[in-house]
Structure 1
């Protein structure tokens, strides 16, 4: 396991705060209230561990399958429905949404290998990620990948806690399947918009693994 470069600043700040808080509590509380000191030590250690875990990159063997659309992130499948596309496409599409909790790996990955033909950031709200309107009203970053005559759109969507979306792609990029698309700090959700004839391989409630789980075949 390695740590993602997006976590460098956050981890440094977390370590400094951990050391400062425990130095001060040891100096001023330990002599008279050792139990409080140990309690705060455990709490801050847990918080530090969580911050570090937010930026972990597990060692994985990623799925490479030209016929498959793989999960763009870790998390739970919370939406599978036919929708009217609200950007880039003008037709109806199948939307598959994956909710990322704060405990999930937060790296976002390319669902397919192909060319990036659309890349757009949208300012917006910070509704909770499972809100029905978060897909269209929240801050988000959209990409469209073209694979031959097929296209798939992804949306990195911010939530109530996730206030920073990072996207590494540009129009014209040729990308590999399961390569890094971006990062959403502290979780949220990623949507996929697929053609109506896509063969969906997951169901609501399934736990997806980014870059590995096959969401659909086309």
Structure 2
């Protein structure tokens, strides 16, 4: 019975309330347009189910240990590089390690805190809607940046709207404490999240690797191992 219960629980994942209006619109369109042409009903019903899937909010099991940096988003590790963080974050204009996670429209878009600590800054910046997989999206796209103070260092998290995304939703405020893996926002329909860490932080993932928000360990602030190499297979 336990296995059956777990299977059912995984199938019926909770849906964020932010998705309710989109689900209602998609279903209404299916009913109205389907009245005039039946095949449209079935096509739009599939779209409605996809919208439900997009706004899913599954439970995650977050590894907890001092120094661990957890992925804030589901998706693919698209870039790992030392770059100067966006000016609106108020961080020193010196290179930091940036790990980018690109989300496609089939990934869960609920974002989670990569570390625990206190949120010292939240900065929203309007901008363009370029393909979030492009490097220049970090500077030109609409974005929302958080700075979290943890273990005496500043960790930046930037939600970046993409080619399809048109709305960044934020659920936290400056001055609040946040726990690793805690939900702090979402981005609607395809986007990217960048994590900024002190230069020299030990990276534990590779470009192209799949990350799971709240579960995949991206880096270790206390790590002293040599950098890892990743080979595609």
Cα RMSD between the aligned structures?
A: 1.2
Determine which structure has more spread, i.e. the larger CA radius of gyration. Answer: 1
Partner Cα distance (2:187, 2:178) in 1: 19
Partner Cα distance (1:132, 1:199) in 2: 22
Extract structure 1 runs of 4+ deviating beyond 4 A. none
Structure (1/2) with the larger strand percentage: 1
Aligned residues: 206
Given the alignment of the two structures, is residue 196 of structure 1 paired with residue 199 of structure 2, yes or no?
yes
Partner Cα distance (1:132, 1:19) in 2: 41
Partner Cα distance (1:140, 1:124) in 2: 7
- Structural mapping, 1:151-162, within 5 Å: 151-162=154-165
Aligned to 1:2: 14
Given the alignment of the two structures, is residue 89 of structure 1 paired with residue 91 of structure 2, yes or no?
yes
Please list every run of 5 or more consecutive structure 1 residues that lacks an aligned counterpart in the other structure: 26-36
Aligned to 2:31: 19
Given the alignment of the two structures, is residue 206 of structure 1 paired with residue 218 of structure 2, yes or no?
no
Please list every run of 5 or more consecutive structure 2 residues that lacks an aligned counterpart in the other structure: 1-12, 222-233
If the length of structure 2 is used for normalisation, what is the TM-score? 0.85
8 Å contact kept, 2:30–2:40:
no
Q: Deviations over 1:111-163 (max 9, x none)?
A: 11110001000011111111221001100000000013111101100111000
8 Å contact kept, 1:144–1:153:
yes
Partner Cα distance (2:43, 2:63) in 1: 38
